[in-house]
Structure 1
Amino acid sequence: MTFQNTREFAQQLDSQDELKNYRNEFVFPQHNGKNVVYFTGNSLGLQPKRTKKYVEDVMNDWGNLAVEGHFYAEKPWWDYHERFANPLSQIVGAKPSEITVMNTLTVNLHLLMVSFYNPTATRYKIICEEKAFPSDQYMFQSQVDFHGYKTEDAIVEIKRREGEHNIRLEDIVAKINEVGDELALVLIGGVNYYTGQVFDMKAITEAGHKVGAKVGFDLAHAAGNIELKLHEWNVDFAAWCSYKYMNSGPGNASGCFVHEKHHHSNLPRFAGWWGHNKERRFKMEPQFDPVHGADGWQVSNLPILSLAPYLASAEMFAEVGMEKLIKKRNQLTAYLEFILHEIDAELDGAEFEIITPTNQKERACQLSVFLHGQGRSLFDYLMKNGVITDWREPNVIRLAPAPFYCSYEDMYDFGQILKQGILAK
């Protein structure tokens, strides 16, 4: 398709968008009486309007039934989490038995590392990507310290080549092979939070398993954003937050994947009563008998008021399906990229640089833009003029045009505001 940088063309694309009505399903912050241009779905997704009813239903059941809501609510609380198995399995490419919901993201990664990071005197190293999300870095450091290893010895970062913004797949595979028999775990982000680069998880998993390591992924920026086939790729485990592209609300519950090949294993785990045999859970037995499947990794009973917004969103994803979301995501992101290049050309170039891969297979719903000759003042200008975006040091703004609620006209409007901001410096 040949794009045009005009409002009429953007409106034409919107009129042809089969998902256009879903924009009306979300609550937008307002700027001068109009919806903002919202680019931070990679940090916190907008609130679905249907969320309020899901929460109110729980509040009503709590008020009317009190403790009996566990069993007699319209959606009984004791098995509320099971409603996520089917929709989330479709989103991440898993079997329903491989899915559970519990806790929050870093808590779940720590709990999963109890099972999947079991270092020995000779096999103790963890491979991660350079500039992983800080919470992951802190997690790695505390885990290896807990097991008695030094960070500089046990944590191996795969680095970008000099002068490049993204990590090459061949460098990841080469590093896995180099560490070889000393490698216990590969754990990286499915999508790098800073650049928006999508990693080849299938190839990485195959390489890790070939040298005898376990392989997991932090899917915070991937779940609800890219095509995932966790079961087919033979990934050992994964976890993701739900409040970015999945629009479940601030700090909300995390999803987990544990491949079925581990469901009957003797892997260590930290146990709790919600992971105990469901049919016997309330018999208060002294010996832990885990639920078959990923639910057996649960620890505590679940925060139903937090799960309610997540369920509202998960069911919306089930209505639409990832295929349609990805189709729109690709065109919407391509149009944003076109707008950026058009504005840069109008301003004689060299104003900014897109550091996200140009190859559509290596990126998703984010373009990270390095500002040359600009600074925080441009970001501030955007924010003051109705564009909510994200600033990352030293000089990057991240733009995430989420296909559920962003429009093509948003992309055009952003381009015009960006141009005005640069000219106003």
Structure 2
Amino acid sequence: MPMTAFEATRTWAEAQDAADPLRAFRDEFHIPRHEGHDTLYFCGNSLGLQPKGVRAAIQAELDDWSELAVEAHFRGRSPWMHYHEYVRDAMAEVVGALPHEVVAMNSLGANLHLMMVSFYRPTAERPAILMEAGAFPTDRYALESQVRFHGFDPSRDLIEVEPDGPGGTLSMAAIEHAIAEHGHRVALILLPGVQYRTGQVFDLQTIVRLGHAKGCTVGFDLAHAVGNLPLALHESGADFAVWCTYKYLNAGPGAVAGAFVHDRHAHADLPRFAGWWGHDKDTRFQMGPHFVPTPGADGWQLSNPPILALAPLRASLDVFARAGMPQLVEKSRRLTAYLDWLIRTRLDAVLDIVTPNDPAQRGAQLSIRVRAGREAGRALFEHLEQRGVIGDWREPDVIRLSPTPLYNRYADCLGAVEAIESWTG
């Protein structure tokens, strides 16, 4: 939809919402209330809303536990022995992978460390990790600790590519230059799919191509990309990726995370921290002393699946399967473009949008700064909370608003901008 077709009126926004083919999915979520009305919830980039199907999904497993106890592993309505496999196909569809390339397990930070055991294999000649400056703390802490663990010096061997674009964004030219300059000594490139503070999307396939050409292993943190962007992990050629599921995937606070290992590593004899549930399932219960990994991503599992934590993810992925990622991405681009247009048209003297304007370089998230500075930005953020507009704040001065296509509307975008205008006076 061209921006010339947008209108900043409630009549227009409500007409778009009424014509939205995905409008019914909003009714499948619990929307928090504020002073008797639904909040305008723009925080799916931090914690997605609860699908209404989650309660029944958890209750079903509680019922099996109470009625069958240990036998629910084999005789439950969804036998627990195979429970992690129930989310596999839908997760693979969301991230653009082959089913055996993905697994739901652990947390993002734990999975990142497990992947680096296998895919960060530094040597004296090639000890370094390349990452973006200003990365999310999980990545920064994990990567620095891995460099130290292997006996190398982060001040020399953790290479951080500095932003060179507007608002602190990072150009592909800067990434390409860093790989060309340092690639000969880089063991691992680890970048995000979406930079958490700026909302900038990175070109995974190009980064993989550049990194592999220099002999580097390439992995991604997709915390802000999964369920948000059209991903093609298998096609990208990435060696591995990790993500959480409590943001756009709506699986609940601290939900089970996900990991991807490319098919070419499915049968590879890679070093790993082994666990019982990663052992080949055909011989797992023979309890032998020698670890034989299950082919594919399942081989990186440590323990049996957490049933009560996987049930919400299963319920949420059912929603994604019915809505369809292509349809969700299409709506997301229109919603984000509308919010972008409203801000640029009505608030250009007050706000700067940090996130790139190019739809190919952003997802649902828009990061904004108040031109008057950090203290004014905090004041606006608190004003929005008081008006029932829920975004989030990231230091030092960024407000993030993410119109999520499963439950946000055009009218929400207009309402958020009207709330900002009430603060500007």
1:189 corresponding residue in structure 2: 192
2:72 corresponding residue in structure 1: 69
Describe the SS at the equivalent of 2:309.
Answer: helix
1:28 corresponding residue in structure 2: 31
AA partner of residue 372 (structure 1): R
Measure how far apart 1:279 and its partner are. 1.9
Match for 2:237 among 206, 209, 234? 234
AA partner of residue 285 (structure 1): G
Match for 1:268 among 252, 267, 271? 271
AA partner of residue 392 (structure 2): D
1:357 corresponding residue in structure 2: 356
Runs of 4+ in 1 over 6 A off after TM superposition: none
AA partner of residue 234 (structure 2): H
1:134 corresponding residue in structure 2: 137
Aligned equivalents of 2:105 and 2:167: distance in 1? 37
1:408 corresponding residue in structure 2: 410
2:383 corresponding residue in structure 1: 381
2:99 corresponding residue in structure 1: 96
Residues 86-125 of structure 1, C-alpha deviations (whole Å, 9 max, x = no match): 1111111110010111000010000000000010010111
Q: Which moved more, 1:366-375 or 1:17-26?
A: 366-375
2:370 corresponding residue in structure 1: 371
Aligned equivalents of 2:166 and 2:383: distance in 1? 29
Residues 117-165 of structure 1, C-alpha deviations (whole Å, 9 max, x = no match): 0100101110111111011100011100100111111111111127652
**1:392 aligned onto 2:394:** yes
**1:51 aligned onto 2:54:** yes
Aligned equivalents of 1:163 and 1:255: distance in 2? 32
AA partner of residue 21 (structure 2): E
Q: Which moved more, 1:221-230 or 1:369-378?
A: 369-378
For structure 1, which runs of at least 5 residues remain unmatched after alignment? Answer: none
Describe the SS at the equivalent of 2:168.
Answer: coil
Identity %: 47
Measure how far apart 1:180 and its partner are. 2.1
Describe the SS at the equivalent of 1:186.
Answer: strand
Aligned equivalents of 1:136 and 1:108: distance in 2? 11
Kept in 2, the 8 Å contact 1:5–1:342? The answer is: no
Measure how far apart 1:377 and its partner are. 1.2
Aligned equivalents of 1:64 and 1:89: distance in 2? 32
AA partner of residue 351 (structure 1): V
1:106 corresponding residue in structure 2: 109
Measure how far apart 1:350 and its partner are. 2.6
Residues 48-89 of structure 1, C-alpha deviations (whole Å, 9 max, x = no match): 001111000010000001111111111111110111221111
Describe the SS at the equivalent of 1:292.
Answer: coil
Q: Which moved more, 1:172-181 or 1:158-167?
A: 158-167
Aligned equivalents of 1:375 and 1:169: distance in 2? 29
1:224 corresponding residue in structure 2: 227
**1:210 aligned onto 2:209:** no
Aligned equivalents of 1:163 and 1:95: distance in 2? 37
For structure 2, which runs of at least 5 residues remain unmatched after alignment? Answer: none
AA partner of residue 224 (structure 1): G
Q: Which TM-score applies when normalising by structure 2? A: 0.97
Q: Which moved more, 1:121-130 or 1:335-344?
A: 335-344
AA partner of residue 166 (structure 1): T
Structure-to-structure mapping, 1:171-186, within 5 angstroms: 171-186=174-189
Kept in 1, the 8 Å contact 2:166–2:354? The answer is: no
Describe the SS at the equivalent of 2:382.
Answer: helix
Residues 203-257 of structure 1, C-alpha deviations (whole Å, 9 max, x = no match): 0000000000100000000000001111111110001100000000001101110
Describe the SS at the equivalent of 1:278.
Answer: coil
AA partner of residue 27 (structure 2): N
**1:78 aligned onto 2:81:** yes
Measure how far apart 1:292 and its partner are. 1.3
CA 1:163–1:200: 2 relative to 1, 3 Å: closer
Kept in 2, the 8 Å contact 1:127–1:185? The answer is: yes
Describe the SS at the equivalent of 2:414.
Answer: helix
Please, what is the CA RMSD of the aligned residues?
A: 1.0
CA 1:292–1:185: 2 relative to 1, 3 Å: same
AA partner of residue 320 (structure 2): F
Describe the SS at the equivalent of 1:358.
Answer: coil
Measure how far apart 1:342 and its partner are. 2.6
AA partner of residue 324 (structure 1): Q
2:321 corresponding residue in structure 1: 318
Aligned equivalents of 2:346 and 2:73: distance in 1? 56
Aligned equivalents of 1:180 and 1:417: distance in 2? 48
Describe the SS at the equivalent of 1:296.
Answer: helix
Aligned equivalents of 1:141 and 1:153: distance in 2? 11
